[in-house]
Structure 1
Amino acid sequence: MRKRLSEPKTSDGGEDPRNATLLRSVVGLRAQLAQYPARLRDRELADEELAVLERTALQGVPPPDQLRRSLLVLAAALGSVSALAPALTEVRVAVELFGEPEDSKVGSGRG
């Protein structure tokens, strides 16, 4: 049995609803993946990345570039599994709540 997770915190000690949404989506995808009966080539990689995202959501507001990297890994590992698509979409929506990485914003002064 899994132990209950604490509430996600912001860097100032308050709760951030984006972190809570991210955590819920990650836990949901992990549950769906655990129940998926077929052998998946990259299941272990997806499990590891979901564990990273779960820890990240509990530690404070994560950097968007780290979240997008994790999302890319998950999409590569699970994106072809239609049964997991709704749960993976929930993770993507939660990641998008954190905005774009600084270096991808238009008008960032790079170019």
Structure 2
Amino acid sequence: MEKVIEWEREFQVWQYSVSHSTLLLRSVNVEGFETRIDVLFTAVELMHLQPYCARLEISEATSEEKGEILGDQLAAKIPGKLYLLNGGEGYVLARRCAWHEDLGDHHSPSKFGPLRGTE
């Protein structure tokens, strides 16, 4: 497993779009932070995660870890990278993971485009 990024702040599932297979996790201006962070997963195939987390660490699983978690047959059949959340407490199988930090609040538009619920 290779660490991609980590934040010591609260995140929550903000939106999932079935039609676009996108998952948005968001950390709004919580106590002690002036910024908002959006984390977007695109082309989501599978996910297993809690709706809220006190911190967020994202790592990319190796192909061996992907096979152990999903089973070798499924891991070989479904494209994408397996992103492990908080040391494997959750995961997202997606094509890409990107993030953006800005001064927006929970109503501000996301840098990732018009997403329902983010005007």
TM-score by length of 2: 0.30
Q: More helix by proportion, 1 or 2?
A: 1
Q: Which structure is higher in RCO with an 8 Å CA cutoff and minimum separation 6?
A: 1
TM-score by length of 1: 0.31
Q: More strand by proportion, 1 or 2?
A: 2
